[in-house]
Structure 1
């Protein structure tokens, strides 16, 4: 059956159709022989732009189109000739010749031509559709998607710049540079536009597609841009601009290092975009096209504006975080103790490693009778709110410690305070984001008693110290874990006591994972005997150096304490008979002991009077056995212990009263006094300063 007009041969109709395609089709048509030489082209062929037809016929296809990315295209066409399998809509990049060589994208389809009925291979029919704009649009979409996915993953403006240039080179730019206002790097408010001349900027990122790219300034250097240049103009009006680069441009003479770098890299087009947010200038993004890359056009400029807007938001978020972190770290540093309390029997050191967690705190508190309280805690949350909550709880701990409470009782009172703070937070106005952050805290409170060589400890949460004995054995004392502070749970707190021989080391941390690691794997802690006569700071440094990456002490508060034996001649104790004659005995023994210690007469007289009054109170209101103990440390401490539980209190006796002045006299003579309770009774103590301020 023949197609076409009646009486007209099919071949003639086909020839007419072929001629119409070659003369009027908008699609580029190519007839190639078996050697891939051009037999015929149509006028829509991209290679015909500005080139005579006779200059292309008979030439190999590789001479007509200079392949940029698909150098194997000739081999692909040969495969079509040999196998007969068509090539469908393959995207290739090629450079077409003309007055200005231009790189374009083509969608290529190739079909083998055969004669019938013999099946002889005649050549190829190749169509080429210019899809440059479509592919450029897709490429811009990919770049924008890459920037949105990969830029801003950290809260560091320098890293944000590095992420941006990595996403842009070489897909969108041959060279990309990010420069950020120096004050923004430090977390300060960005300056409003126009940016004052000479404002310092830090180069935070540089990336180039060249092997050895020239740089005007290294990354990390702070510079002041001379002006007027396209860079200062962009910072003044916050508008992007595409700038053709010519060595004759007058503004290049104002910045010779940058002009020299542009010339060395063969840059021909600059696209400079300000990093701006809410009419404030955060920095600049400078993008260069070099060599054979096409110049930037209006579509590229619009894309660069979107990229810069996303980056500016990420940089501002990082700036806000830096500012909040700086304020929180400053508050945190001011709320923490400057130096640890150190006694002759307990040497302590802090690791300044809490900058990443403003809710973590440590403390050492001097208690009566040469004892020391060791405290480590951690408040939930981040930033300034965590630092403020930490300061509140630390203040409460210090206030409660002044009452000489047992560890479990102190944590119970601290739990009440934390619960009240959590209740106040939960009842903040609905719009306050802090309302959604629960307030909880962990805490460990331990009291070291050098006279007994032991520690009494209670914990809120799962915190516990690592104990390293003089023989190098490492253990974590088994302490009952109480509820976290601020939780609705109201379980009781329990205390545990464990021996701490002289020469032992205690390591308290606010991070249970760090504690577990130190107990299992820390080599420096197992070498504690080697540090016995060395500064404790050396052990602290060795511990930090041994931590693996990802489990650093930069997220924990740490106290390292080393115990020493209390001097045998530094304390004296004796038990008294349940007889009023014991008052005189106590005064005499006190006088003799103070003389042996070389205490001055005035302090000795006051101490005898204090002992007399405290023993009298114990005989009158307490229960045997009655024990007197004197401790000669940095202060002189007098203790009277009895088995009674009655709480002593100050009385202001009337003129006609014969008694009731005992504790009042002791309070007047001592710089501090108090009462502490135990299962076997109570201890009333009083402290006096020593003349040598030991």
Structure 2
């Protein structure tokens, strides 16, 4: 049984072949070897917007959009010369110019019995939907990789604009709600009425002055697409009519006139929402591309903007947390360095870059008794609010321990015990996926201007650098000890003498351990920088940071540079005392004479009382040797040293008690007083403010 007639010799029925050519849903054309159209079917004529008669003789280069002619001719020539079918993709606007269609075209050479190419057969299939689907996938993939490279809201919104422009629209703008300033969160409820927002980013295919500059605030009335889409909570497509221009002109005639001059005809407004909150709105317009936005465009825009909104919200939340951490950390760091005579000090603190977050580096300058000064730098492990809070706890602990005049090694031992206890207490929180315990490094140094001696100890911290008067730089060889919180080895201190004109530099490892530099190279870079002359310590701090830090650092940096000073010999008076009550009167006379030499006659009465009480207590309750030292600095310091380790304490004397009021009297007459322990016993000291002017 046969289904159709066959010509003699078994050749296909040319009638059916002709019908297939005419009735095919694909656009078909037959070209001669000069690449001119010989015959087209109805679909090809429709696509070209010409009758079949008018297509006859038309060069193949003229059936595609401008700029594509050379390419299609080259492909057809290749098919003609090689005798092998060629395939390519091209695009063509519809005859009315309203939309752009994409075509998958095959150029097939037709040969005679001798293998000579006599005709070229063109078969074009509409691949617009497939092309647009591929483009949508590519755009979504680009959005996934190209948006959110940083935790900066402005940068993230500009990345969103770069993805949408110009593939989806001719102009795109991103505005965020005013409540997002500083990482804030918009309140609950529907957004209605006029809405004020900040322009974060925009882009246009036209190089022109923007109507709303980036960074400025703009108000959108309730009838605008931006406000309407925010009120509705979903994206909307608008056909821009003359009536819309006129209504907008009643509110902002300048912007309305500019928009009308561009020829804006289609617009999409899509709210930017993430995690249940509204962040802002994205507006995309078309004025040069003739086709209006369709439902597929809106779905694509909503998907890309939803992805970008998560990145913007991440940036917002990071901005809020970072701002909180920086505010917390700055409130815990010294707002200004204390006034003292032992050291000239300059400091710098540089927070880590955006992707890392604020860390727990800190520094401090703590005046001690006897005109001495303590220098501290430390680094808490981790970043964020937890690290800043831990830093605050450690800084407070160091100040408390320094106030009781512990030597550096003992202070670090007590600090290590504190960190260990805190870490143990936080094990439950760590198991609950919290930030967990605390780890830190610390360097503690005490400088005495009466002897130019500096006693230092460290806990897992980089060694300090000393710049000698001749400009050479050495790192102090301190005993190695583990970071705080490990409790493995005891801490040891070392003592060095700082020559006149030398410098002492303390820092955290963020300064020497940059991303692309190992520690050895970091130490050498710091050594080279510290050798450079500088007019002031502040200038030297700036030079160090400029040379060693490139861009935003990966870790926090704390830097403390000090120039030691020494008290002159005539600022210190020392007397060895006999353990005899009769020596008190002699001491009073010597103190009175010394104060007269210093020009402190107004302080004689108070100082005699203070010295009498301290010396009398030492003679009665302590052992030899006894020594009195007075220091004339910013204040007047009186110190009585003895061989006992028993600490005195204030007590309330009863009415008929003959004693017990000495230390109370000292506390009332002086600014502060205290006890510090030495290798040979203890020292009771009292400090008085000197009259000004």
TM-score, reference length from structure 1: 0.89
Tell whether the 8 Å contact from 2:342 to 2:373 is kept in structure 1 after alignment. Answer: no
Tell whether the 8 Å contact from 1:364 to 1:374 is kept in structure 2 after alignment. Answer: yes
Tell whether the 8 Å contact from 2:89 to 2:104 is kept in structure 1 after alignment. Answer: yes
Task: Give the Cα–Cα distance (whole angstroms) in 1 for the partners of residues 307 and 446 of structure 2.
Answer: 54
Partner of 1:460: 459
Deviation string, structure 1 residues 422-445 (Cα, Å, up to 9, x no partner): 2222222854x425x442112111
* Correspondences of 1:258-277 after superposition (within 5 Å): 258-277=255-274
Summarize the Cα distance change of 1:40–1:54 in structure 2 as closer, same or farther, 3 Å threshold.
same
Partner of 2:516: none
Deviation string, structure 1 residues 363-416 (Cα, Å, up to 9, x no partner): 111100000111122222322222222211111111111110001111111111
Are 2:526 and 1:525 equivalent residues in the alignment? no
Deviation at 1:191, TM superposition (A): 4.0
Partner of 1:549: 550
Tell whether the 8 Å contact from 2:422 to 2:437 is kept in structure 1 after alignment. Answer: no
Higher mean C-alpha displacement, 536-545 vs 108-117 = 536-545
Partner of 1:195: 191
How many residues are aligned here?
Answer: 676
* Correspondences of 1:21-100 after superposition (within 5 Å): 21-45=20-44, 47-48=46-47, 51-66=50-65, 72-88=71-87, 90-96=88-94, 98-100=95-97
- Residue in structure 2 matching 1:242, options 212, 237, 251: 237
Partner of 1:499: 497
Deviation at 1:82, TM superposition (A): 1.4
Task: Give the Cα–Cα distance (whole angstroms) in 1 for the partners of residues 391 and 201 of structure 2.
Answer: 37
- Residue in structure 1 matching 2:140, options 133, 137, 144: 144
Tell whether the 8 Å contact from 1:215 to 1:261 is kept in structure 2 after alignment. Answer: no
TM-score, reference length from structure 2: 0.89
Deviation at 1:581, TM superposition (A): 6.7
Are 2:178 and 1:182 equivalent residues in the alignment? yes
Partner of 1:420: 421
Tell whether the 8 Å contact from 2:510 to 2:553 is kept in structure 1 after alignment. Answer: no
Task: Please tell me the root mean square deviation across aligned C-alpha atoms, in Å.
Answer: 3.1
Task: Give the Cα–Cα distance (whole angstroms) in 2 for the partners of residues 36 and 276 of structure 1.
Answer: 55
Task: Give the Cα–Cα distance (whole angstroms) in 1 for the partners of residues 320 and 3 of structure 2.
Answer: 81
Task: Give the Cα–Cα distance (whole angstroms) in 1 for the partners of residues 438 and 120 of structure 2.
Answer: 76
* Correspondences of 1:537-616 after superposition (within 5 Å): 537-550=538-551, 552=553, 555-576=556-577, 586-599=587-600, 600-613=603-616, 615-616=618-619
Summarize the Cα distance change of 1:257–1:78 in structure 2 as closer, same or farther, 3 Å threshold.
farther
* Correspondences of 1:107-122 after superposition (within 5 Å): 107-117=104-114, 119-122=115-118
Task: Give the Cα–Cα distance (whole angstroms) in 2 for the partners of residues 456 and 47 of structure 1.
Answer: 94
* Correspondences of 1:187-336 after superposition (within 5 Å): 187-192=183-188, 194-210=190-206, 212-249=207-244, 250-253=246-249, 254-277=251-274, 280-292=277-289, 294-336=291-333
Task: Give the Cα–Cα distance (whole angstroms) in 2 for the partners of residues 407 and 584 of structure 1.
Answer: 38
Summarize the Cα distance change of 1:202–1:678 in structure 2 as closer, same or farther, 3 Å threshold.
same
Task: Give the Cα–Cα distance (whole angstroms) in 2 for the partners of residues 157 and 667 of structure 1.
Answer: 56
Deviation string, structure 1 residues 21-75 (Cα, Å, up to 9, x no partner): 2123222221111121111222333744754222222211222222566851221
Higher mean C-alpha displacement, 101-110 vs 275-284 = 275-284
Are 2:358 and 1:350 equivalent residues in the alignment? no
Deviation at 1:351, TM superposition (A): 2.3
Deviation at 1:603, TM superposition (A): 2.1
| Matched position secondary structure for 1:381 | strand
Higher mean C-alpha displacement, 405-414 vs 512-521 = 512-521
Task: Give the Cα–Cα distance (whole angstroms) in 2 for the partners of residues 227 and 11 of structure 1.
Answer: 76
Task: Give the Cα–Cα distance (whole angstroms) in 2 for the partners of residues 547 and 182 of structure 1.
Answer: 38
Partner of 1:154: 150
| Matched position secondary structure for 2:186 | coil
| Matched position secondary structure for 1:603 | helix
| Matched position secondary structure for 1:36 | coil
Deviation string, structure 1 residues 143-171 (Cα, Å, up to 9, x no partner): 11111222122221111101111222223
Summarize the Cα distance change of 1:227–1:513 in structure 2 as closer, same or farther, 3 Å threshold.
same
Deviation at 1:235, TM superposition (A): 1.7
Summarize the Cα distance change of 1:69–1:392 in structure 2 as closer, same or farther, 3 Å threshold.
farther
Partner of 1:676: 676
Deviation at 1:134, TM superposition (A): 1.0
* Correspondences of 1:356-367 after superposition (within 5 Å): 357-367=358-368
Deviation at 1:274, TM superposition (A): 1.1
Tell whether the 8 Å contact from 2:510 to 2:556 is kept in structure 1 after alignment. Answer: no
Summarize the Cα distance change of 1:198–1:486 in structure 2 as closer, same or farther, 3 Å threshold.
farther
Task: Give the Cα–Cα distance (whole angstroms) in 2 for the partners of residues 293 and 112 of structure 1.
Answer: 37
Task: Give the Cα–Cα distance (whole angstroms) in 2 for the partners of residues 647 and 85 of structure 1.
Answer: 107
| Matched position secondary structure for 2:150 | coil
Tell whether the 8 Å contact from 1:91 to 1:107 is kept in structure 2 after alignment. Answer: yes
Summarize the Cα distance change of 1:674–1:519 in structure 2 as closer, same or farther, 3 Å threshold.
farther
Structure 1: unaligned runs, 5 residues or longer: none
Are 2:638 and 1:638 equivalent residues in the alignment? yes
Summarize the Cα distance change of 1:655–1:319 in structure 2 as closer, same or farther, 3 Å threshold.
closer
Tell whether the 8 Å contact from 2:512 to 2:523 is kept in structure 1 after alignment. Answer: yes
